[in-house]
Amino acid sequence: MNHNSVYLNITSQYSISSLRIQNPYIVAWWSAAFPGFGHLLIGKLYLGYFLIVWEVIVNSLAHLNEGIYYSMVGEFEQAVHVLNVQYLVLYSPIYIYIIWDSYRCTQEINHLTRAVFQEKKSSIHQQNMDIIDHNVNLKRNPIQSIIWSMLFPSLGYMYNNKFLSFIFGLLLWVTLSTLSHVYDGLYYSYIGDFQLAIDTVKPKWLLFLPSIYVFFAYHAFVDSVEHNRLSEFMNKIKLAKKFNPKSFKMPF
């Protein structure tokens, strides 16, 4: 069995969801990097969106990013002083649980995928259309998905026809980049006024951006690769139904 193959797929007007084998450690790692990312990887979109919003709100209330920033620049007393212990205690157990839950859910999905494969069942919806929009699952270029995501985070989702993730990612990036003044800081750095750039950016919001930027590019790349595998799998099924006699058993 190819552990990277896709066997169950649903294409709606707004997204494409697939059931596939994934590495639970990679999913857990992304949950540790930013709660909610791991759940997005395994297709739990609404839970993933909620956890991302929860992370932004509770992290900011606990001033955790500010504490990390002051620790990075060596101001440890200021780091301790700025933290809100009440929200930090609230944050910690839920953060650990989110990592564990993403690992657990990945194992459950992997088990289900293997069971489906063993029963030789498949459910594939290649396209979906209504009066508002349409969505077709076709091959994508993984390199292009990364390039678009690096040009502006969340564009990779749009390239892959994942419109719900695109809208959420766009709102998330615009909100945090505006609050952090990251583009102002980049502009002042470009003209050589580094001190003004440092004074302008807000670490409380800025430290959210690197994880989001990298994850959006990674997720878009993975989605593109899986779309291509799914397209190849669908072509095999079509060819088998059209040209092979019923007595012939396909080796996949």
Does position 92 have pLDDT exceeding 50, yes or no? yes
Under a CB-based contact definition with an 8 Å cutoff, are residues 155 and 230 in contact?
no
- Given this model, what pLDDT does residue 233 score? 67
Predicted pLDDT at 121: 52
Residue pair 38/28 in contact (Cβ under 8 Å)? The answer is yes
| Interval 113-125 mean pLDDT | 61
Q: What is the model's pTM?
A: 0.81
Percentage of the chain beyond pLDDT 90 is 59
- Rounded CA-CA distance 205/60 in Å is 8
H-state helical runs in 63-151: 64-72, 76-82, 85-118, 142-151
Average pLDDT over residues 208-212: 96
pLDDT exceeds 90 at position 125: no
φ, ψ (nearest 5 deg) of residue 5: -80, 160
190-207 per-position pLDDT tens digit: 999 999 999 999 999 999
Segment holding 26, helix H or strand E: helix 24-33
Average pLDDT over residues 70-87: 92
Nearest alpha-carbon partner for 16 in 165, 117, 234: 165
Q: Give the per-residue pLDDT at 70.
A: 93
Helix segments in 119-154, DSSP class H:
142-151
Q: To the nearest whole percent, how much of the chain has pLDDT over 70?
A: 75
Q: Are residues 125 and 64 in contact, defined by beta-carbon separation less than 8 angstroms?
A: no
Q: Give the pLDDT band (50/70/90) at residue 110.
A: confident
First-to-last alpha carbon distance for the chain, in angstroms, is: 8
pLDDT band with cut points at 50, 70 and 90 for residue 129: very low
- Residue of 103, 137, 217 lying closest to 169 (CA atoms): 217
For 173-191, write each residue's pLDDT tens digit.
999 999 999 999 999 999 9
Span 108-113, average pLDDT: 84
Instruction: Confirm if 48 and 35 have CB atoms less than 8 A apart.
Output: no
Q: Give the C-alpha separation, 13 to 133, whole Å.
A: 6
When comparing pLDDT for 68 and 9, which is higher? 68
What value does the mean pLDDT of the chain take?
83
